[in-house]
Structure 1
Amino acid sequence: MTLRIEDGNRVRTLTLDRPEALNAFNEALYDAVAEAVYAAADDPAVAVLLLTGEGRAFSAGTDLVEMHQIATDPDFVMGKHGFTGMIDAFAEFPKPVVFAVNGLGLGAGATLLGFADLVFMSTEARLKCPFSSLAVAPEAASSVLFPHLIGHQNAAWVLMSSEWIGAEQAHAMGLAFGLCAPDELMAEARRHAEVLAAKPVNSLVAIKRTMVEPRRAAVREARDRENAAFGELLGGPANLEALTAFAEGRPADFTAVPGA
Structure 2
Amino acid sequence: MGLLIADDARVRTLTLDRPDALNAFNEALYDATTEALLDAAADPTVAVVVLTGNGRAFSAGTDLLEMHRMATDPAFQRGKHGFLGLVDALAAFPKPLVCAVNGVGLGIGATVLGFADLAFMSTTARLKCPFTSLGVAPEAASSYLLPRLMGRQNAAWMLLSAEWIGAQEALESGLVWKVCEPDDLLPTARRYAETLASRPISSLVAVKETMTAPLRAEIAAARERENACFAELMGGPANLEALSAFAEGREPDFTGLPAGW
In the superposition, the TM-score normalised over structure 2's length comes to 0.99
Deviation at 1:179, TM superposition (A): 0.5
1:118-129 aligned at under 5 Å gives the runs 118-129=118-129
SS at match of 2:132: coil
Identity %: 68
Tell me what 1:213 maps to: 213
One-letter code aligned to 1:35: E
Question: 1:142 aligned to 2:148?
Answer: no
One-letter code aligned to 1:198: S
Whole-Å separation in 2 of the counterparts to 1:225 and 1:29:
25
Tell me what 1:97 maps to: 97
One-letter code aligned to 1:176: V
Question: 1:82 aligned to 2:82?
Answer: yes
SS at match of 1:133: helix
Tell me what 1:169 maps to: 169
Tell me what 1:244 maps to: 244
**1:89-114 deviation line (CA, Å, top 9, x unaligned):** 01000000000000000000000000
Question: 1:61 aligned to 2:61?
Answer: yes
Deviation at 1:149, TM superposition (A): 0.7
Could you say what the CA RMSD is over the residues aligned between the two structures, in angstroms?
0.5
Whole-Å separation in 1 of the counterparts to 2:129 and 2:39:
29
Tell me what 2:13 maps to: 13
Deviation at 1:224, TM superposition (A): 1.3
Deviation at 1:17, TM superposition (A): 0.3
One-letter code aligned to 2:220: R
Tell me what 1:51 maps to: 51
One-letter code aligned to 2:58: F
Whole-Å separation in 1 of the counterparts to 2:77 and 2:51:
27
Question: 1:253 aligned to 2:227?
Answer: no
**1:160-187 deviation line (CA, Å, top 9, x unaligned):** 0000000000000001100100011000
SS at match of 2:44: coil
Tell me what 2:233 maps to: 233
SS at match of 2:4: strand
Whole-Å separation in 2 of the counterparts to 1:254 and 1:179:
36
Deviation at 1:228, TM superposition (A): 1.1
Whole-Å separation in 2 of the counterparts to 1:239 and 1:127:
21
Tell me what 1:36 maps to: 36
Whole-Å separation in 1 of the counterparts to 2:228 and 2:13:
32
Whole-Å separation in 1 of the counterparts to 2:162 and 2:183:
28
Tell me what 2:71 maps to: 71
Flag structure 1 segments of 5+ consecutive residues without an equivalent: none
SS at match of 2:62: coil
> Please, which moves more after superposition, 215-224 or 38-47?
215-224
Whole-Å separation in 2 of the counterparts to 1:177 and 1:149:
10
Flag structure 2 segments of 5+ consecutive residues without an equivalent: none
Moved over 3 A (4+): none
Whole-Å separation in 2 of the counterparts to 1:14 and 1:60:
16
One-letter code aligned to 1:12: R
